[in-house]
A and B are shown apart, each in its own frame.
Chain A
């Protein structure tokens, strides 16, 4: 339960040697308690319950991608972490190799995943998580990009309110040098994420302006409070209206 929770929520923990943060995600999972930080090429042992790093060791060569893959991975990592630093005050990011990690030269497909996480855990609980998978196709010289962005917020003073949002995105670009790929991918991610932010704002506006106001008026059409004292007059008027078949809520048809 705890590992699943931490992975789903892209928990980020400070590395014991202060060299940065490690994201707890399936993409970096060596085993249940050990996770790879691709940027510093280290494996951290994690206590899921306490949410801390208990040990740190350098990653072995077999645990890391080839030099060829690493060129792409680190170029994208560099550009994406620049973007994340600008857009999210408390954001972290990492880029992992998802397949083809031992590829030494062009000639076959490989895949990378970009993971972005910005969260506050306490006292309030809210987070922005996005995962972008990049499939490099050698045959088509294309990079197919798929993203899933999720924003959750949980507010529980005075009650209990949860915001749950998510969206799926798609894009693509041509195969380029690692450096150019880094720029392009970061720009594509930046573009989609800021578009999504705008659409969140729009959803708030629409729901607030239209849907919420439609549920209950601030005041009746009369612009006065309900006349509880004159209930006899009200029920009389209503009965008359019913009889005559006029007004809302009338069940009489003539």
Chain B
């Protein structure tokens, strides 16, 4: 079983202008003292079409982690707009928070993100070239998608052979582990009713 359990992720500064940094307040619990640091990453999915537009906004080491309950705020700069396809700038995308221990990802938290213009005029007639200064980012904080992976927490032994350990591709569909038995996890296409209006 995982030595680290994520208890809560609070999305701070949400909704906010597109250029604001991401802020997640992460609370986690650790069963035993961890000899090594945890590595957390925020990955912004630039386009649902291809993972080549994924941007790792930041990665940060967290440690030392003694047994107990801990919290920290993970802040990362907004995505580089130059790397986002213009057609995907406005609309729904995904931001992923991943955590790895000894290079093995054991949890992936995905949030839907809706980027839209606040100005109704712009919303009606969006400019061809996205105006990022006018975009508002809204993270659907109430509906995180959590995927946990089985990893080898003891460093000495060789890595577990399970296919589950293969890091999922950091793609929008990567919120599901590739080895997941279909049907075990609700398909991502099922958007919750209360989500933002999609284009």
Q: Do A and B come from one complex?
A: no
